[in-house]
Amino acid sequence: MLTGFQFSRARPGTRKAMLDVLCRHLPMVRLRVSLAAAFALAVAACTGDIVDPEGDPLEAAMRAFDTNVSPTLQTKCASCHTSTENPQFMRPDPTLRDGILSFNMGGLVNLMDPVSSRLAVFTSSQAHGMVGVNYTPAEAAQVTAWIELEALAGGIVPEPVVETAKITPIVGANEVDLTTIGLTGSKLTFDFQPLATGMYLSRIQVNASTGGVRLVHPLFVVWDAQAPIPDPIDRFSDIDLTVAELTTSQVGGGTAVFVDIPPQGQLSLHFKTATFANGMPPSDGGGITGGGCKAVPLFTSAARPQLGTCAGTCHAGTNAAARAATDMSKLADDLLQPDACAQILSRVSKLNPDQSSIIVSVDPAVTNVHPYYKVPAAQFANFRAQMLMWINAEAAP
């Protein structure tokens, strides 16, 4: 596998970017692509595969759709999306593939940023799961891979991604060396706990070496053998994090819960960009860009009372490590509720409220994470309901 950063430095531009995308997805789509004869050689170099030199990107996209996307749509989605009152994006127009691409003026696919396509992301959200049937993360990955090929076929040059080497996470502390993407000596660290059908990552931090680092849009990719499964809800898309040299900073809220993926899978990280700090000031609050809470009164009435014990016993300051992990120091202050809310907002998943770490970490049924404290079993349903009331208000469009 290429490490994008070094390669993009060596060969900037279109071909490199295309090649990156091809290389990342070759194992999955087995595409028959050659954008030029020269490409075939390089593509072969990234996997050892020989790629059909007669193929073309459009053909590859169509094949990926037919092979990897259409069957799932037919079995899981057609009953609701062909001719019912739900959005009818599966009505052929004239083909199924064309209909999906043009539905709602292209609103289901984002050719400029395939991983954020509504077809994949909304169908990985709890809101859709409650009314329909969701994709598994692996199925969502197939959709994203197909849309990347559509983008290539449409002549869109994907932005090069920077990709770390894969690691096999171990229970407890883990480290992803950023040296391989050109940031010598810097590390991304996290604690890992396997869940029954997923992964719980906490204390996700960047430890910056000489020169500091600036990381934009980190994306966790879980590997099911050779198949990459990007985080289907792309939860760190709003991160632009600068860390000063020789300091450590949390990444966003510092936690991530991935479900329905192989708990023993390998992990890699993609970044939209990963550079030295280059004089950028260090970020506050894990580098989350844009917006604080919009439902502060509900935070105060519903969520705050639930968090009193957490704040009082550890997170408001009594325990430095606990406060560093999740800061609840503003919770008790009536005048600082917007700040208190923002501190917790980074621990929620708006797309999958049930998977918010503020809920999962203290769920007495999830025994192997956050061993310090669990909400007593008899109170957990109420805790969860109150927290969800607030989180759903934050998540509302």
Applying CB under 6 A, which residues contact ligand HEC? 76-77, 79-81, 86-87, 104, 107-108, 118-119, 122-123, 127-128, 131-133, 135
Residue nearer to ligand HEC on the CB measure, 32 or 118: 118
Give the Å distances, CA to CA, from 237 to 118, 187, 357. 14, 20, 17
Q: How far is the CB of 60 from ligand HEC (least distance, A)?
A: 21
**Closest Cα to residue 58, out of 139, 140, 155?**
155
Residues in the chain: 397
Q: How far is the CB of 391 from ligand HEC (least distance, A)?
A: 17
Tokens of 244: 């000063």
For tokens 């070496």, the residue is: 209
Residue nearer to ligand HEC on the CB measure, 123 or 349: 123
Using CB atoms within 10 A of its CB, is residue 214 exposed (0-12), middle (13-18) or buried (19+)? buried
CB atoms within 10 A of CB 93: 15
> Under a CB-based contact definition with an 8 Å cutoff, are residues 299 and 344 in contact?
yes
**Closest Cα to residue 64, out of 116, 157, 139?**
139
For tokens 């170099």, the residue is: 45
Residue nearer to ligand HEC on the CB measure, 135 or 200: 135
Residue with the closest Cβ to ligand HEC? Answer: 132
Residue nearer to ligand HEC on the CB measure, 112 or 246: 112
Q: How far is the CB of 395 from ligand HEC (least distance, A)?
A: 12
How far apart CA 156 and CA 143 sit, in angstroms, is 17
Residue nearer to ligand HEC on the CB measure, 55 or 132: 132
Residue nearer to ligand HEC on the CB measure, 81 or 384: 81
Residue nearer to ligand HEC on the CB measure, 341 or 391: 391
Q: How far is the CB of 130 from ligand HEC (least distance, A)?
A: 9
For tokens 């109150």, the residue is: 386
CA 139 to chain centre: 15
Q: How far is the CB of 287 from ligand HEC (least distance, A)?
A: 29
Radius of gyration for the alpha carbons in the chain, expressed in angstroms and rounded: 22
Q: How far is the CB of 73 from ligand HEC (least distance, A)?
A: 6
**Closest Cα to residue 5, out of 203, 216, 175?**
216
Residue nearer to ligand HEC on the CB measure, 87 or 211: 87
CA 197 to chain centre: 17
Biggest CA pair distance of the chain = 68
Q: How far is the CB of 8 from ligand HEC (least distance, A)?
A: 32
Q: How far is the CB of 106 from ligand HEC (least distance, A)?
A: 11
